[in-house]
Amino acid sequence: MQLMAAKIMSIADRMDQEQIEGFVDAIMAAERIYLIGAGRSGLVAKSFAMRLMHVGLTSYVVGETITPAMTGKDLIIAFSGSGNTKTVADISETAKNIGAKVCLVTAQSDSRIAKIADNLLIIESHRDYVTDDSQEYEIRQMIGEHRSFAPLGTLFETASLVFSDAIISAMMEITQTDESDLQLRHTNVE
C-alpha cells in the first residue's frame, strides 16, 4: 500500500494544473454530465457520477436504462487508461457527433479518444505492453498477466478514483456545498 500511495503521489505531482482547471470548467459549463468507462475504469466513472449527483449536478452513467438522450449542451467524461478501449471510444465519438463536449481521463495523450477530446486529463501510470490496444481492456481481462506490483491498470484506476474524489472537494467549494448537503442527496432506500 505504501508503494502504491507513493506512486500515486508521484503521479499527482506531475499532473497539469491547466488540464485540471479545464476539466473543472467543462463540468461546470455542462447542462448534464455523462460518465463512461469499461471494467474498473467504468467503476471509477460510476463512482464519480454518484459524487457529482451528491454535489447537486445532473449526472448519468452511459448504458444505464434511465440515461436520457444527449444534446450539444452536455458533457461526456470517459475514463480509459489506454484511450482506445473500443466501446468507450465508439460512444465518445457518438457523443462528439451529437455536439457534446468530450473529456478524457487517460494515461495516453495520443489515443483514439484523445484525438477528439475537448479536454484531456493525463494521469500517468505504468501499463504493461499490449500489442493491440484497441481491444486492450478485453485482452487484459482474458490474459490476466500480472507483471508489476500494481497489475493491469491498477495505478491508473486508483489514481483516477483519488483524482475524481479530489475534484469533488473542489466542486463542493465552487458550488458552496457542504457535507450535510451531500448527505441529503445520498440514497435513503438502502
Residue 48 CB contacts under 8 Å (≥ 6 apart), including other chains:
35, 59, 77, 79, 164, 167, 168
Taking a C-beta distance cutoff of 8 angstroms, is the pair 64, 71 a contact?
A: no
Taking a C-beta distance cutoff of 8 angstroms, is the pair 77, 103 a contact?
A: yes
Taking a C-beta distance cutoff of 8 angstroms, is the pair 69, 32 a contact?
A: no
Quick check: is 64 catalytic? no
Task: Share the mean pLDDT of the chain.
Answer: 87
pTM, two decimal places = 0.84
Place of cell 457523443: 95
- Rounded to the nearest angstrom, the gap between the alpha carbon of residue 18 and the centroid of all alpha carbons in its chain is 17
Residue 117: half-sphere exposure toward Cβ, Cα within 13 Å? 28
Query: Could you tell me the residue ranges of all domains in the chain?
Result: 2-184
Choose, from 93, 138, 145, 157, the residue flagged as catalytic.
Answer: 157
pLDDT at site 142:
52
Beta strands 59-61 and 101-106, pairing class: unpaired
Rounded to the nearest 5°, which phi and psi values hold at 58?
-90, 115
pLDDT at site 129:
45
C-alpha cell at 83: 484511450
Right CATH for 2-184 from 3.10.310.30, 3.40.50.10490, 3.30.2350.10, 3.20.20.140:
3.40.50.10490
pLDDT at site 134:
47
Spell out, as residue ranges, where the chain has pLDDT lower than 50.
Answer: 127-130, 133-134, 140, 145-147
pLDDT at site 52:
96
C-alpha cell at 73: 449542451
